[in-house]
Amino acid sequence: MNNNNNDFSLNQRIPSVMIADEEVDFNQYLSSAEMSAIEHEVSIMETRESVGIEALKIVQQHRGWISDDSLIAIAQCLNISSAQLEGVATFYNLIYRQKVGHYVIHLCDSISCHLTGYDEILNVIKQHLNIVYGQTTSDGQFTLLSNVCLGSCDKSPAMMIGGKHYHSLTSDSVVAILNGLSQNVGEGND
């Protein structure tokens, strides 16, 4: 069974009962590692407010995605409103406001990739993982999302997984990449 979702970027929260800001105490919620990484960013920026995106990335790195309570805790820590931080999170498509798999596949669906085999690559991924855009595999290993141009148009089709770019994709190379990553998770190497 797959997790259905119609938002291919997943940087918008799932409509639900919003947690009240007062229900979260960032001092207790954020780990010392998260706090010290955020404070490091604060020390090199002019205002706490300007650390929003970096703080979101830090917490996402530790927790995999940004839940409502994570968002509220970060906003408290930076002395900004949660609505203001939500705006930042929504604008940035690499912040996940919904739970994602261990690996998030960002497949480029812009023009150069469309001209060089995007459809075939998408079909291979869909068939190999048995998911469509916005879904996560039942074992929680992969989430599939579309992405605008990844800047590798001369080596298209392209995708990005875990910040790593993969170029000149073919059906065989995509399957090999996915199998390799899957094996990493199975062996606890990633």
Q: Tell me which of 72, 150, 177, 181 binds ligand FES, using CB under 6 A.
A: 150
156 binds ligand FES (CB under 6 A): yes
The piece of 50-58, 86-94, 123-131, 146-154 that touches ligand FES (CB under 6 A) is 146-154
The piece of 24-32, 79-87, 147-155, 177-185 that touches ligand FES (CB under 6 A) is 147-155
The piece of 18-26, 39-47, 59-67, 104-112 that touches ligand FES (CB under 6 A) is 104-112
Q: Say how many residues touch ligand FES, by CB under 6 A.
A: 12
In whole angstroms, how close is the CB of 9 to ligand FES at the nearest point? Answer: 16
* Alpha carbon 4 to chain centroid, angstroms: 16
112 binds ligand FES (CB under 6 A): yes
DSSP result, 112-153? HHHHTTHHHHHHHHHHHHT--TT-B-TTSSEEEEEES--S-G
| Encoded tokens for 167 | 């170029």
Using alpha carbons, select from 126, 134, 135, 138 the residue that is nearest to residue 178: 126
β-strand 164-166 against 142-147: which pairing, if any? unpaired
152 binds ligand FES (CB under 6 A): yes
146 binds ligand FES (CB under 6 A): no
Distance CA 38, CA 33 (A): 9
The torsion of the CA quartet 37, 43, 48, 54, rounded to 10 degrees, works out to -40
75 binds ligand FES (CB under 6 A): no
In whole angstroms, how close is the CB of 104 to ligand FES at the nearest point? Answer: 17
CB 125 within 8 A of CB 144: yes
Task: Give the interface with ligand FES as residue ranges (CB under 6 A).
Answer: 108, 110-113, 149-153, 156, 158
